Amino acid sequence: MSTRQIILDTETTGLDAALGHRILEVAAVELIDRRLTGNHLHRYINPERASEEGALQVHGLTEDFLRDKPKFGEIAPELLDFISGAELVIHNASFDLSFLNKEFALLDLKTVKEYCPGVVDTLAMARELHPGKRNNLDALCDRYQIDNSKRTLHGALLDANLLAEVYLAMTRGQESLIIDMAPAPQAAAATRRAAGKLELVVLAASVEELAEHDKQLAELDKASNGATLWRKIDAGAADAAKT
């Protein structure tokens, strides 16, 4: 069964929906089975109010530009149609959800989580993977070598596409590699038959390579505050040897 996810981002007039700030741009990008499909939804919205100066400096969307754009109620049906039934992937999800839920409430609609089966917060995920480091979208793009050179201002569609790449990079574990790279059954069988006829050569790591490997493991262990699995296994083995 295919897994459908929607990478979602909004731009707003300010930082707090409870103070009456509104959504003025929304973008949603579709992933199916961890692959971008090219399907997306992107709308500018007339928020019916001015942006705070700080927010305006972030997104650059003026009242004049937004004046002839549809109001949120006009785009809500197509937004709901696009995201319903999909898992949402959002950076700092509580922020965007607070604004979406406020907009939905004004239209007597249910909360977002009643339309979507789950929400992945990539900010929480990044903080767990990279404790103590900057984990905003720009920092993550730099960390995962994703080109964000066009991001001079925040824009919902550009940010959603960048977040999709960041999310795929952060979650590209062994299971996803197998899914992405597994050969067709016939090709796999042919590979196994060919491998049976080969004389495999095993190259042992040098002393220098082993030392560099230990150094990399130590750095990973330090970054995770000693939570790495291999350290726990090593400690357990050492304790067992003493008994």
Catalytic residue set: 154
Region label for 20, one of left (φ > 0), alpha (ψ between -120 and 50) or beta (otherwise): left
Calpha distance 79→103 (Å, rounded): 12
How far is 63 from 74, CA to CA, in rounded Å? 18
Burial class (CB within 10 angstroms; exposed 0-12, middle 13-18, buried 19+) of 96: buried
Alpha-carbon separation of residue 137 from 34, 59, 165, 195, 223 (angstroms)? 19, 15, 11, 44, 20
Percentages helix, strand, coil for the chain (3-state, rounded to 5) are: 50, 15, 35
